[in-house]
A and B are shown apart, each in its own frame.
Chain A
């Protein structure tokens, strides 16, 4: 049986209609599906957050957990089903359109009707002239447009480079190479010289104690200050609070009977409160009855000494008239400032460093022992690494955009005992001192390495590349394990010893500024998104996490079985250092805070944005 041409055309026409109708129905269904999904987004389901909130109030409710899981599964199913429907519907609709088009084309060709183009009514010669005219118009228009937009565009990069004295490079790919070369060059030097650098040419100032502001300078070291006798013992250090994050810089305080309840604004358990004359983000340090903090602005860099019992300002000393100190302040960000590093003391002297690269040593009565400028650190936020003292050496991490180094200055003279170049990018972490049982190591974190150094010689003992980004958090340490972390990188547990190795890695909760605290087989992490988490120190598994809402810049400190962590709003959350989350209390300072709490004689000392507080009964 043969089908006539007319029948074929009719058949094709019907196919075209049916296919087009089918496509239309699919389109309507898809739109309906889309509207429904849009109106009831599974991801915006309000039920689950409500249930989760209820669960946080009663964490042990298994029925509630099952209910949440059921809702969660249902929402996911709904979402993925709608996705499947949209995709499948699209395919079917597309198929309908294709069939319809092909059928139409068949009809067109079967009718043997040649398609005539609607011609523009033109005269060949005239048409060319008109075209020339328009090409000239459009060409000229493009030129004018380009010129105008060029004139109106400002090159903010150029202006920035002029203002910041940034040198142009020829090729973008050389930018990274240049910085790598800068960073790597001193490493060889260190390797060859066994990390020991002579100190003949350093510029150090030692000033007559009678007149702190009067300075002399030169390459010769004038030793006019009375030499402190002896070195601090470990028990002395632990009895005090000499460094950032305690006697070893690891966030563990040995003080007992630490307070848990205060209110800075209401005055509850506020022993004293004073306004620090100049602002700074350095945390206090304490030796005996003396408490020290730094503050700075464009006019002056200051060290303040307070009576820790009364809050009375005993003395203040300016870090001025230092040879090499810049006349203008380096550009720093508001959240770092010029006085971010915490001071250090060995009980014989106190040491401070500022964003200008000025280092100053003062005796306990505020008399300048020596001062020197290390060179203005090329640091786009501002220098932030705190100081620490090992025996007779003041250890300074000096990682900048140009190069990185760890250096030790003689605590009595300020001369460089040694300096070790670091193959690293700029970082803001502070050194910690740990006794592994067989030796004492100074440990630093940076991008990409976690390094251990001999504090006596500066020799690098080990390094493990595991971090990335702009590393701010310092390392944590407990029981032979180092804990290093940074936001956008990871948290690693490193077993140190003869052959240091990474034992575990985690990346669920990572700090950006706050340093990890390790104690009782637990690691505590405070994040800038307001979550405080507890990790198993042996396995890296999360034990609990608690969302407080406000960011943490301050580091957690352990004292008397409790962990104190202060958020940026000034609230200090006090939890038990246990595997289960147990909140002891939350106390408010009444002002914003980024400094870490400091403990001494049953009191907690906390620096807010403006004031310094002594809290306790």
Chain B
């Protein structure tokens, strides 16, 4: 394939995104037509919920897809099979189901189900959350390989992958934890489902999205031509949970079906940098141990400082909550009460609530953010401290092995292994 064609493809993707952006921007709203003929405007009605049997069908299809892709990875060792399964998932869960329901977003349903006793989590959302985790616990992240539509759309455009330096991967690898923490915080304070709101691909699936999100989705795809699956690796909050599960998977895929012959052919095969090379301890053992001990000692400090810093962020963090934002607007700019175009203010004014009540409500939410800020900051401190400990430990390895936490089980590396199944 010539370079020209690749550029052509990239331009096409960008154009596609641009058009979608235009389409979204071009939407206008007409006032309701007036009829003198006696025609009655139909009542505005809400869309009917999806039939329950179809919801269960989605769960069944997820289960089948997970089983099939796991079978392709572990039994058939077929990259082609994994790829076409992911294409199916893209078409079904992506374009047909328009990215909803999805396992990534289901984190929020689960958290809301825990913190809000009045919210009954739908069984389908719970299963979408649990099934990929259960599969990861046993077989690795096969969900990422073939069942996730967000992964599939990125995987298709991986044409010229490059490997990022480890330090960049490590630093960017902190983002998913932060994203996960923020997502939980905003759901726990009943503020926002940020994972859904800032899903960069759902706009492409639906051919409709806010301007900014379309641009973001296009950027992810454009970057994804070179940096494989950037959202999965450096943003996906569900990937954090899958990684934790996969780390303990007993039947994770292997690069070679039998004994490794140390041919190194697979060493450059993973676009995700998820193959651990054989390693022997380097440097002086004493200084390595000292460093590790220092990191262990510093771990509580990271947690404490992180917690304090997080708590300090509670004011700006809480501004994403609509009630807090509205209260601040009204308190700081009372003239907005007369702004007929400010729909949030108008809605509040028509609710009959007083400013005092609104401020009380916002203040209570802000105090929830204070506690949440401590927890989020402490969690991030723990993540940073643990990352440093992991980077200081040496585990002797003699073969090329998939990193169970980061491996997406895409099965690319298998094609590079000359060893055949005995």
**Chain A residues engaging chain B, CB cutoff 8 angstroms:** 16-17, 20, 23-24, 27, 30-31, 34, 37-38, 41-43, 65, 72, 76, 79, 82-83, 86-87, 89-91, 93-94, 96-97, 100-101, 104-105, 107-109, 114-120, 122, 124-125, 127-128, 130-136, 138-139, 142-143, 146-147, 149-151, 153-158, 160-161, 164, 166-172, 174-176, 179, 333, 378, 380, 401, 425-426, 447, 468-471, 487-489, 529
Residue B55 interfacial (CB < 8 Å): no
Give 8 new A-B contacts, CB below 8 A, not counting A135-B387, A169-B364: A20-B8, A27-B16, A30-B22, A31-B18, A142-B309, A150-B309, A156-B328, A380-B354
Residue B13 interfacial (CB < 8 Å): yes
1/0 contact trace for B326-345 toward A, CB 8 Å? 01100110100000100000
Known: A90-B19, A100-B12, A124-B282. A157 touches B366 (CB 8 A): yes
Secondary structure class of chain B's binding surface, majority of residues:
helix
Residue B167 interfacial (CB < 8 Å): yes
**B-side contacts of A72, CB under 8 Å:** 33
Residue contact B388 to A132, C-beta cutoff 8 Å: yes
**A-side contacts of B28, CB under 8 Å:** 41-43, 79
Known: A104-B1, A487-B350. A23 touches B388 (CB 8 A): no
Residue contact A117 to B269, C-beta cutoff 8 Å: yes
Known: A114-B269, A127-B167, A468-B350. A94 touches B9 (CB 8 A): no
**B-side contacts of A127, CB under 8 Å:** 165-167
Known: A150-B316, A157-B363. A426 touches B354 (CB 8 A): yes
Residue contact A125 to B350, C-beta cutoff 8 Å: no
**B-side contacts of A401, CB under 8 Å:** 354, 356-357
Residue contact B364 to A135, C-beta cutoff 8 Å: no
Residue contact A168 to B356, C-beta cutoff 8 Å: no
Q: Which residue of B lies closest to A73 (CB)?
A: B33
Residue contact A89 to B19, C-beta cutoff 8 Å: yes
Q: Which residue of A lies closest to B415 (CB)?
A: A114
1/0 contact trace for B293-309 toward A, CB 8 Å? 00000000010011011
Residue B419 interfacial (CB < 8 Å): no
Residue contact A172 to B364, C-beta cutoff 8 Å: yes
6 contacts between A and B (CB under 8 A): A97-B16, A127-B165, A135-B174, A139-B302, A139-B384, A150-B315
**Chain B residues engaging chain A, CB cutoff 8 angstroms:** 1, 5, 8-9, 11-13, 15-16, 18-20, 22-23, 26-30, 33, 36, 80, 83, 156-157, 159, 161-171, 174, 207, 267-271, 277, 279, 282-283, 302, 305-306, 308-316, 323-324, 327-328, 331-332, 334, 340, 346, 349-357, 359-368, 377, 380-381, 384, 387-388, 391-392, 412, 415-416
**B-side contacts of A120, CB under 8 Å:** 163-166
**A-side contacts of B392, CB under 8 Å:** 128, 132
Nearest CB of chain A from residue B213's CB, rounded to whole Å: 16
Residue contact A146 to B327, C-beta cutoff 8 Å: no
Residue contact B171 to A134, C-beta cutoff 8 Å: yes
Known: A23-B12, A24-B15. A175 touches B364 (CB 8 A): yes
Q: Which residue of B lies closest to A34 (CB)?
A: B22
Residue contact A131 to B166, C-beta cutoff 8 Å: yes
**B-side contacts of A153, CB under 8 Å:** 315-316
Q: Which residue of B lies closest to A133 (CB)?
A: B167
Q: How far is the CA of A120 from the CA of B161 in the complex (A)?
A: 12
Q: How far is the CA of A153 from the CA of B15 in the complex (A)?
A: 41
Known: A86-B26, A120-B164, A131-B170. A31 touches B5 (CB 8 A): no
Residue contact A37 to B26, C-beta cutoff 8 Å: yes
Residue contact A119 to B328, C-beta cutoff 8 Å: no
Q: How far is the CA of A161 from the CA of B331 in the complex (A)?
A: 10
Residue contact A34 to B26, C-beta cutoff 8 Å: yes
Known: A138-B171, A169-B364. A469 touches B350 (CB 8 A): yes
**B-side contacts of A470, CB under 8 Å:** 349-350, 352
Q: Which residue of A lies closest to B90 (CB)?
A: A98
Residue contact A142 to B332, C-beta cutoff 8 Å: no
**A-side contacts of B170, CB under 8 Å:** 131, 134-135
Q: How far is the CA of A88 from the CA of B145 in the complex (A)?
A: 31
Nearest CB of chain B from residue A53's CB, rounded to whole Å: 16
Q: How far is the CA of A100 from the CA of B315 in the complex (A)?
A: 49
Secondary structure class of chain A's binding surface, majority of residues:
helix
Q: Which of B157, B159, B350 gathers most chain A CB within 10 Å?
A: B350
Q: How far is the CA of A417 from the CA of B271 in the complex (A)?
A: 85
Question: Pick the contact of A134 from B167, B308, B357 — CB < 8 Å?
Answer: B167
Q: How far is the CA of A179 from the CA of B358 in the complex (A)?
A: 12
Q: Which residue of B lies closest to A447 (CB)?
A: B352
Question: Pick the contact of A130 from B27, B163, B167 — CB < 8 Å?
Answer: B167
Residue contact B364 to A156, C-beta cutoff 8 Å: no
Q: How far is the CA of A153 from the CA of B320 in the complex (A)?
A: 14
Question: Pick the contact of B162 from A23, A76, A118 — CB < 8 Å?
Answer: A118
Known: A43-B30, A94-B16, A160-B359. A469 touches B352 (CB 8 A): yes
Residue contact A97 to B312, C-beta cutoff 8 Å: no
Known: A101-B157, A117-B271, A468-B352. A155 touches B366 (CB 8 A): yes
Q: How far is the CA of A447 from the CA of B354 in the complex (A)?
A: 13
Give 8 nearest A-B pairs by CB, closest first. Answer: A150-B312, A125-B282, A488-B350, A469-B350, A146-B309, A139-B384, A153-B315, A27-B15
Q: How far is the CA of A142 from the CA of B306 in the complex (A)?
A: 9
Residue contact B16 to A143, C-beta cutoff 8 Å: no
Residue contact B19 to A27, C-beta cutoff 8 Å: yes
Residue contact A166 to B167, C-beta cutoff 8 Å: no
Q: How far is the CA of A30 from the CA of B311 in the complex (A)?
A: 49
Q: How far is the CA of A118 from the CA of B270 in the complex (A)?
A: 10
Q: How far is the CA of A380 from the CA of B366 in the complex (A)?
A: 23
Q: Which of A156, A174, A378 gathers most chain B CB within 10 Å?
A: A156
Question: Pick the contact of B19 from A31, A124, A130, A164 — CB < 8 Å?
Answer: A31
Q: Which residue of B lies closest to A94 (CB)?
A: B16
Residue contact A175 to B19, C-beta cutoff 8 Å: no
**B-side contacts of A167, CB under 8 Å:** 360
Q: Which residue of B lies closest to A116 (CB)?
A: B268
Residue contact B350 to A87, C-beta cutoff 8 Å: no
Q: Which residue of A lies closest to B288 (CB)?
A: A125
Nearest CB of chain B from residue A509's CB, rounded to whole Å: 13
Residue contact A79 to B30, C-beta cutoff 8 Å: yes
Residue contact B356 to A380, C-beta cutoff 8 Å: yes
Residue contact A166 to B356, C-beta cutoff 8 Å: yes
Residue contact A131 to B391, C-beta cutoff 8 Å: yes
Q: How far is the CA of A380 from the CA of B22 in the complex (A)?
A: 45
Q: Which residue of A lies closest to B157 (CB)?
A: A101
Known: A104-B5, A167-B360, A489-B350. A147 touches B80 (CB 8 A): no
Q: Which residue of A lies closest to B31 (CB)?
A: A43
Q: How far is the CA of A571 from the CA of B134 in the complex (A)?
A: 73
Q: How far is the CA of A158 from the CA of B315 in the complex (A)?
A: 11
Nearest CB of chain A from residue B25's CB, rounded to whole Å: 8
Q: Which residue of A lies closest to B367 (CB)?
A: A168
Q: How far is the CA of A97 from the CA of B80 in the complex (A)?
A: 20
Residue contact B26 to A135, C-beta cutoff 8 Å: no
Nearest CB of chain A from residue B295's CB, rounded to whole Å: 8
**A-side contacts of B270, CB under 8 Å:** 117
Question: Pick the contact of A469 from B5, B30, B349 — CB < 8 Å?
Answer: B349
**A-side contacts of B36, CB under 8 Å:** 65
Residue contact A20 to B309, C-beta cutoff 8 Å: no
Q: How far is the CA of A157 from the CA of B352 in the complex (A)?
A: 20
Q: How far is the CA of A447 from the CA of B356 in the complex (A)?
A: 18
Q: Which residue of A lies closest to B164 (CB)?
A: A120
Q: How far is the CA of A100 from the CA of B1 in the complex (A)?
A: 12
Q: How far is the CA of A111 from the CA of B30 in the complex (A)?
A: 54
Residue contact A82 to B363, C-beta cutoff 8 Å: no
Question: Pick the contact of B15 from A23, A119, A143, A150 — CB < 8 Å?
Answer: A23
Q: Which residue of A lies closest to B271 (CB)?
A: A117
Nearest CB of chain B from residue A128's CB, rounded to whole Å: 5
Residue contact B268 to A149, C-beta cutoff 8 Å: no
Residue contact A125 to B283, C-beta cutoff 8 Å: yes
Nearest CB of chain B from residue A531's CB, rounded to whole Å: 13
Residue contact A156 to B26, C-beta cutoff 8 Å: no
Residue contact A155 to B315, C-beta cutoff 8 Å: yes
Residue contact A149 to B313, C-beta cutoff 8 Å: yes
**A-side contacts of B165, CB under 8 Å:** 120, 122, 127, 130
